Amino acid sequence: MEGLNLMDKTLYVQGARISFCIWDVAGDKKSLDQIPMACKDAVALLIMFDLTSRSTLNNVVGWYTEARKWNQTAIPILIGTKFDDFVRLPPDVQWTIVTQSQNRSRTFEDPV
| pLDDT tens, position by position, 26-80 | 877 777 788 888 888 899 988 889 999 888 888 888 888 888 899 999 988 889 9
Q: Phi, psi (5° rounding) for residue 75? A: -80, 115
Cβ atoms of 66 and 32 within 8 Å: the answer is yes
Q: What is the pLDDT of residue 102?
A: 87
| pLDDT tens, position by position, 6-35 | 889 999 999 999 998 888 888 777 777 888
Q: Phi, psi (5° rounding) for residue 24? A: -100, 115
Rounded mean pLDDT of 99-107? 84
The residue type of 106 is R
Closest residue by Cα to residue 35 from 78, 65, 79: 65
Partners of residue 75 on adjacent β-strands: 44
What would the CATH number be for the domain defined by 4-108?
3.40.50.300
Q: What is the pLDDT of residue 107?
A: 74
Structural domain boundaries in the chain? 4-108
